[in-house]
Structure 1
Amino acid sequence: MMDTTVTHQPVNIRRLWKRYRGAIFTILSSLAIFLFYYAVSRSTVRNIDNFLQDYQGGTDWGLLLAYIGLSLTVVAQAYTVVKRIGIPEYIRKLGGAGLWLNIRIVMSLVGFFAILIHAGFPFQFRSSNLWSHGFAALATWILLVTTISGVFGRYLYRHLPAFKRAFAIWKPTHLVVTALFFVFALAHVWIETTGGG
């Protein structure tokens, strides 16, 4: 007679967390945004908007946020330089490419939020005319696409070699979108500082 007993292996919580943390984070973030949008009263939204008005474009604090955000996104590109040096000993002296990638991600996200607040996002962000105010709305939307693309690329990078082909497609696309952001952001800065916007 055959032995039909089933042996149960213990559940490895750490492995499950590592495997599903991205999905859990996405679901919880989406839920938080949904609850914030529908649960927060309109008067509270107006209070938040009034608080953020001092930090939007055209104010001293708003311009400071814009310059800080743009500077952080430019400096974050140092990762590309470190990675392209090609001298492994020198890269290790600088902390390794992984450290610079993490620094790039943090600097890019802080710059992203600084620029979004400068743009008036999400409460007073007017995107009906992408070309007004020196490409401000267009640059902001491209920044949003660039940031989402960067998060997606980080996911692909962490799961190499399984997504090697997808990463090969993503990389030049992300480069083009990032370049477009810098072109329109610099055009916005130039037009606004010369009085054309």
Structure 2
Amino acid sequence: MEISTSDSGAAALDPTVLVLLTIFGGALIAAIAGLVGAWIQGKREHARWVRERRYSAYLDVLPVANGLVDSIRSTEEHEAWLKEAQERQASIQAELDAIEPSDVAAIERLRAKNEQFGQEVEENRRGLAGELARNHELTENIIEKFVAFDLLGPAKVLRASDEILKAKEQGAAVMRKRVRQLEASMRSALSIRM
């Protein structure tokens, strides 16, 4: 390899070396650009994968959360009916106690009314027991589904899911509000604009 100097003092490169530097320099730049492109594509693929998994996890949770709200609402209705039933039963008993023992027809009418009412109470108790069992099953199911939020995030969705479990004891109205907040945080995490 010869390096010659010209009158200006700058070194001139051999044309072969210049061609080799151009070829290998271009190849190096192309390789670096390819690696950067692959890295960017990998990041995009990972972001797409996370978004798809979040979407799937969110879709799995929403029907269970809404079912739990419905179960809590139904449980509240059964409990309110049973509380009212106790008052009605006391009223029937007071009427029965006030009737003269000789008024057999009135006594029989109230006993029939009390018996029919007792059947309604028993039916409602069975309904309440069924709702409580459904409530327990849905709670277990939603807790299992919330595990995906621990892995996939984001933290905002995880916090909203925790609020749902806390709201369970506060009633169906609060629970419904928390489910809506969870839906909003899910939409935000998936960049869905409404």
Q: TM-score, length-normalised on structure 1?
A: 0.41
- Structure of higher CA gyration radius: 2
Q: TM-score, length-normalised on structure 2?
A: 0.41
Flag the structure with more relative contact order, 1 or 2, with Cα contacts below 8 A and sequence separation at least 6: 2
